[in-house]
Amino acid sequence: MRMPVSFAWSTPGAALLVAAAASTQQFAAAIGAFLVCGALIVLAGLWPALGRAITSIPKPIASAMLAGILFPICIAPVTAAVEQPAIAVPMVLAWLLLARLAPRWAVPAALAVAVTGIAITAGPAVLGSSAVRPQLEFVAPVFDPFVIASLGLPLFIVTMAGQNVPGFAVMSTFGYRLAPRPVLIASGAASIAAAFAGGHAINLAAITAAIMASPEANPDPRKRWVATVSAGVVYLLLGAGAGLAAAVVQASPPVIITAVAGLALLGALVTAVASALDDPRHRITAIVTFLVTASGIAVAGIGSAFWGLVAGAILMLWMRPRTGGTRSEDRNAAAADAAGQPASKGD
C-alpha cells in the first residue's frame, strides 16, 4: 500500500486479560475466545458500514483522542527522573544531547542508555532466568460459550474501540486515508493464526504507528512506509529473542520502559495537539476529548479512548452552530473567535 501501516498486539486487550482471569482457569477456553475475537474483526472488515463508521471520525476529535492517549506516556520521563534517577536521568540527558546534535538518533541513544542501566542493576538475574529461552507451543482451542461471552466479545470491543479506532485516527492525523477493509481482514486473520500459539488480538498499531507515520520516520510522507517494513523485520528478529526481551522488561522498573516510549512519542504528541486545536470552532470539543481520554477511565471494561471519542462526538453535536444564521455570519463568528473579537452582523 506504500503507507506506514503497522500492526501490534492489543494493549487494552492484554489489560483485559488480567481482569478476565476469573472467567476461566482453562487456557484452552481463552484460546477459543481469542479465535472468536479474530473472526469478529474479520467480519467488521467485511461489513462496509462498520468500516466507514470507524474511519469517519472528525479530525479535531481524532487528533485530541490521540493526544490523550499519548499524554500519560509522554509525562513518564518526568516521573521516572524522580522515581528512578540512576537510570532515567542519564537516559534523558542522552536524549537531550542527541536531540540537539543528531535528532534521529536521540531515541535509540536513550534506549541504549536505559538498557545499559537495567543490565548493570539486574544483569545476572536476567541472564540466569529460564525465560531467556523462548518456546512456541500449539494450544488446541476449547469453545466455552461463557468464556466467549465474558472474554471474547469484550476483547473484540476493546480492541476495536481502544486500538483500531485510535490506529485509524493516527493515520488520519498524519494525512493518510487508510481503507479499513484490508486492514481489518488482515489483522483479524492474523489474530486467528496467532491464537493457536497463545496470542491474543492483533490490531492496527496506534502508539507505535504514531512514531512510524510521523515526520521523525522520514520527512517525505511517501517514504515512511520503509519504517514499518523495517519494524516488521526487527519484530521477527526480536521474536527469536522474545524470552530475553521479556526478561529485561520484567527486570526493569515499569516507569523506565514507559519513559523511553514517552521520549519517542513527544513529536507525535506535538503534532496531535496542534491538529486538534487547529480549528478554533472545535477547540472546546477537542480539549474535552483530550481530557476524557487522558483520564485513563474504564467503564464496562472499555478504555478511555472510546469514551473520549463518545464525549467529543456528543459535545461536537451540541456545540455545532445554529442553523438560523447565514453562512457569512458563521464565517464572521469563526474569524472573530480566532481573533478574540466579537462578531459583526453581515459582510
Per-residue model confidence as pLDDT tens digits over 260-314:
888 888 887 888 899 889 888 889 999 999 999 888 887 776 668 778 888 998 9
Supply the pLDDT for residue 346. 39
Identify whether 336 is part of a domain.
no
Residue 229 lies in a domain: yes
Mean pLDDT of 170-182: 87
Place of cell 466579537: 342
More confident residue, 90 or 305: 90
109 domain-assigned: yes
**Residue 228 DSSP SS3:** helix
Residue 18 has a pLDDT of 60
Show the cell assigned to 246.
Answer: 521479556
Instruction: Please indicate, yes or no, if residue 319 is contained in any of the structural domains.
Output: no
Using an 8 Å Cβ cutoff, are 304 and 296 in contact? yes
Q: 327 pLDDT exceeds 60?
A: no
Residue 70: domain span: 7-267
pLDDT tens digits, residue range 210-232? Answer: 888 888 888 898 999 999 999 99
Task: Please indicate, yes or no, if residue 281 is contained in any of the structural domains.
Answer: no
Interatomic CA distance for residues 242 and 236, integer angstroms: 10
Q: Is the pLDDT of residue 345 over 50?
A: no
Instruction: Give domain status of residue 314, yes or no.
Output: no
Q: How many domains does the chain have?
A: 1
Give the SS3 label for residue 63: helix
Model confidence at 20, pLDDT cuts 50, 70, 90, reads low
3-class SS at 199?
A: coil
Residue 344 is predicted with a pLDDT of 42
Largest CA distance in the chain: 77
Burial 275-290 (b: 16+ CB within 10 A, else e): bbbebebbbebbbbbb
pLDDT averaged over every residue in the chain: 82
The label of the residue with cell 519494524 reads: 231
pLDDT at 46 over 60: yes
Tell me which of 135 and 124 has the higher pLDDT.
135
Contacts of 4 (CB under 8 A, 6+ apart): 171, 174, 176, 209, 212, 213, 217, 224, 225, 227, 228
Share of the chain above pLDDT 70, in %: 84
Of 25, 129, 27, 63, whose CA–CA distance to 312 is shortest? Answer: 63
Q: Is residue 342, in this structure, part of any structural domain at all?
A: no
**Which range among 112-121, 217-226, 261-270, 327-336 shows the weakest confidence by mean pLDDT?**
327-336
pLDDT reported for residue 291 = 94
In angstroms, rounded to a whole number, what is the distance separating the alpha carbons of residues 166 and 309? 9
Report yes or no on 322 lying in a domain: no
What pLDDT, on a 0 to 100 scale, did the predictor assign at position 224? Answer: 92
Which range (11-20, 60-69, 262-271) has the least confidence?
11-20
- At residue 337's C-alpha, the angle toward residues 332 and 341, to 5°, is 85
User: Using CA atoms, how far apart are residues 344 and 263, in angstroms rounded to an integer?
Assistant: 45
7-9 and 202-204 strand pairing:
antiparallel
CA distances from 313 to 52, 252, 304 (A): 16, 39, 14
